[in-house]
Amino acid sequence: MAYKFNPFTGTLDYYQSASAGGVVGIAPTNIGAITRWADTTATTIENSPGTNVQDSGAIEAQGFITNRQVNGTVTVGATESWISPGLQLQPGAVIVMNPGAELIVI
């Protein structure tokens, strides 16, 4: 058994190292997809369908995207709605609206 010092409690906590295989992903994967556990073994991960993190930091989902401050380029897909509480576009920021996309600022 291994123990690690916990600086928050000042005690030694039981520690079990990860298995040699580590976490395994289920193919195919999507760039920018948010990862979620695929089962209860804590060793297999998969994409969350329809949920991604864009390079700008915006989180896109099939129902909404929220982001108060846009620093880069955000693309709103044809079947997506972007809901933003008090949208702030920084210098050089761009919002690309595909045909059928929706932008709602509240």
Average pLDDT over residues 68-75: 79
**Each residue's pLDDT tens digit, 37-56:** 888 887 888 888 778 888 88
CB 90 within 8 A of CB 70: yes
pLDDT at 99 over 90: yes
Write down the pLDDT at residue 65: 52
**Dist CA 13 CA 88 (whole Å):** 45
CB atoms within 10 A of CB 103: 15
Is 1's pLDDT higher than 70?
A: no
Indicate the pLDDT class of residue 6, thresholds 50, 70 and 90: confident
Q: How far is it, in rounded angstroms, from Cα 69 to Cα 37?
A: 30
Q: State how far the Cα of 106 lies from the Cα of 82, in Å rounded to an integer.
A: 11
Assess whether pLDDT exceeds 80 at residue 12: yes
Q: What is the value of pTM for the model shown? A: 0.41
53 vs 84: CA distance, rounded Å:
16
